[in-house]
Amino acid sequence: MNTQITLTEDQQDCLQELMNIAYGSATAAISSILDAFATLSVPQISVIDTHSLKSHLLDNIKVENSHFISSQTLNGKIAGECLFVIGEQSSINMAKEFGFENDEITQNELCDVILEITNILSSATISKLADEMGTAVSFSPPHIHILNSIENFDNQYLDKYQKVIIIKTQLNFENQNINAELLILTTDDSIVFIRDMLDRIIEEF
């Protein structure tokens, strides 16, 4: 395993720029699908040790007590997982954004909406990022968990990886009070790939 899994300041800057572009396209996609103006905050990028992932999530995700976590596996050169974390009230507001009336919103509908938005966000951002890096990503169907605390977040295979790149952003809708976090976690091999690609892009400029 590569022991030098870190990103230099240049590489991090470059990734930040690529993510800005990718998030811009995701925002456009959401706006056109939902006919609502959404914004994604400037993504924050960090590379952390896998064993501190849980505490990182605990510290960084500010959601109400009960929240939904949906995850979607990314396959290809950029492999890993997209995590979308949203509180209950925000998800209800989001369902309204999807055209549901109050009495139509059931737990299943909420889950469907969350899965949909996860898919939209991860597809739009990662596809764009992959495109910039001259590769493609295949998406597995997203899954959803209802968590009462991050402590319940279970990943017994976490030890397989040394580092994860965390790309964190906040999704806001103009007319609705919706707060959610999108995290993109990538695996060791992907970090190496991303790093090499970043180097190539940096050279080209």
Residue 144 φ/ψ, nearest 5 degrees: -130, 140
Q: Is 116 in the site for another protein (CB under 8 A)?
A: yes
Give whichever of 112 and 189 is closer to another protein, judged by the CB atom. 112
Cα–Cα dist 135/128, whole Å: 10
Looking only at residues 130 through 149 of this chain, which bind another protein when binding is defined by CB under 8 A? 139, 141-144
Stretch that binds another protein, among 8-16, 26-34, 39-47, 178-186 (CB under 8 A): 26-34
Stretch that binds another protein, among 12-20, 43-51, 113-121, 179-187 (CB under 8 A): 113-121
Minimum distance, C-beta of residue 144 to another protein, in the bound complex (Å): 7
Considering only 7, 29, 57, 94, the residue that binds another protein (CB under 8 A) is 29
Closest CA to 79 of 12, 163, 139, 16: 139
Collapsed DSSP state (helix, strand, coil) of residue 160: helix
Considering only 53, 61, 85, 111, the residue that binds another protein (CB under 8 A) is 111
User: What residues contact 14, with CB distance under 8 A and at least 6 apart?
Assistant: 198, 201, 202
Closest CA to 64 of 84, 90, 83: 90
Question: Which residues sit opposite 195 in a β-bridge?
Answer: none
Sign, CA torsion 75/76/79/83: negative
Chain-centre distance of CA 141, in angstroms?
14
Minimum distance, C-beta of residue 184 to another protein, in the bound complex (Å): 15
Considering only 13, 17, 112, 189, the residue that binds another protein (CB under 8 A) is 112
Cα–Cα dist 186/183, whole Å: 10
Minimum distance, C-beta of residue 123 to another protein, in the bound complex (Å): 4
Cα–Cα dist 95/99, whole Å: 7
Give whichever of 33 and 48 is closer to another protein, judged by the CB atom. 33
Q: Is 123 in the site for another protein (CB under 8 A)?
A: yes
Q: Is 103 in the site for another protein (CB under 8 A)?
A: no
Give the CA count within 13 Å in the CB-facing half-sphere of 173: 22
Give whichever of 43 and 142 is closer to another protein, judged by the CB atom. 142
Stretch that binds another protein, among 14-22, 118-126, 168-176, 193-201 (CB under 8 A): 118-126
Binding site for another protein (CB under 8 A): 29, 32-33, 98-99, 108, 111-112, 115-116, 119-120, 123-124, 127, 139, 141-144
